[in-house]
Amino acid sequence: MQMLQNSVGRKLVMAMTGLFLFLFVIVHLLGNSSVFIGADGINSYAEHLHALGPIVWIFRLVMLGLFGVHIFFGIQLTLENRAARAIEYNEKKNPRTSFGAMTMIYTGLILLAFLVYHLLHFTMHVTNPEISVGALAPDALGRADVFTMMVLSFQKIFISLVYVGAMVTLLLHLSHGIQSLFQTVGWLGAETLPVMEKIGRAAAVVIFAGFISIPVSILLGLINV
């Protein structure tokens, strides 16, 4: 447990939990992309997920744990780092780092808030109960009509803006997080670091583009009920 007090130990915990969260984001994006196949695609994906039963719950608990640890140490490390520079400079230039790196705690907290909203919206159906799967008729095959729920939701400009905004913060968070994770586990050297920084940013952009393509397509009417 010494590791959880150590500077590098906790950095590794951040990296490893971050890695799984990152992998989850990729899987989630792939799953969501089934919306482009139409109602059949995403509704059958949702059906399959629900058929897993308790495994879904185990998965959810694991994710909750990972999130919790990532957030806890993220906040703890940030507080320590602020205490390490109790008095700020009157003038300070940061030529090397990035906006994404400097704002990790803020983007992280925004993502946390978004996550809560996201769960309230699509999972617990609290924010917009009128367009939740419970309120909507099942699809032709009797499955919960996730497709219609998504389309009707994202047709609301406000909801789409919230999601796009959240994905901007995810973009920023990942633009630093991905390369940082590789540095933390010690895989980078002088030559590979700049390359990994580019790859990390590119991957963040791809994920960003992937996620926003859904509300954008719906708003543009490319996906319709």
Partner 1 sequence: MNLTLYVWRQNGPEGQGKLEQYEAKNVSPDSSFLEMLDEVNQELIETGIDPIEFDNDCREGICGTCGCVINGRPHGPQEETTACQLHMRQFKDGDSLTLEPWRATAFPIVKDLVVDRSAMDRIIESGGYTSAYTGQVGEANQTLIPKPLAEYAMDAAACIGCGACVAACPNGSAMLFTSAKVAQLASLPQGKVEAAERVKAMTATAIANGFGNCSNHYECEAACPKGVSVKFIAKLNREYIKALPK
5: helix, strand or coil = coil
Q: Which residues contact 155 (CB under 8 A, 6 or more apart)?
A: 218, 219
Q: Is 185 in the site for partner 1 (CB under 8 A)?
A: yes
Measured from the CB atom, the residue of 9 and 41 that comes closer to partner 1 is: 9
Of 51, 87, 220, 221, the one binding partner 1 (CB under 8 A) is 87
Question: Of 129, 132, 130, 128, which Cα lies nearest the Cα of 149?
Answer: 132
For the CB of residue 187, give the shortest distance to partner 1 in the complex, in Å: 7
The answer to whether 173 and 108 have CB atoms below 8 angstroms apart is yes
The set of long-range contacts for 82-91, using a CB threshold of 8 Å and a minimum separation of 24, is: none
Measured from the CB atom, the residue of 9 and 210 that comes closer to partner 1 is: 9
Neighbours of 117 (CB within 10 A): 16
Q: Is 123 in the site for partner 1 (CB under 8 A)?
A: no
Phi, psi dihedrals of residue 35, rounded to the nearest 5°? -65, -30
Q: Is 190 in the site for partner 1 (CB under 8 A)?
A: yes
For the CB of residue 12, give the shortest distance to partner 1 in the complex, in Å: 7
Measured from the CB atom, the residue of 9 and 31 that comes closer to partner 1 is: 9
What b/e sequence results for 8-23 when a residue is b if at least 16 CB atoms lie within 10 Å of its CB, and e otherwise? eebbbbbbbbbbbbbe
Q: Is 12 in the site for partner 1 (CB under 8 A)?
A: yes
Token code pair at residue 26: 């990729």
Binders of partner 1 among 65-84, rule CB under 8 A?
77, 80-81, 83-84
The answer to whether 121 and 127 have CB atoms below 8 angstroms apart is yes
Q: Is 158 in the site for partner 1 (CB under 8 A)?
A: no
Q: Is 5 in the site for partner 1 (CB under 8 A)?
A: yes
Measured from the CB atom, the residue of 51 and 190 that comes closer to partner 1 is: 190
Measured from the CB atom, the residue of 188 and 216 that comes closer to partner 1 is: 188
Residues that bind partner 1 (CB under 8 A): 2-3, 5-12, 77, 80-81, 83-97, 101-102, 104, 176, 179-180, 183-190, 193
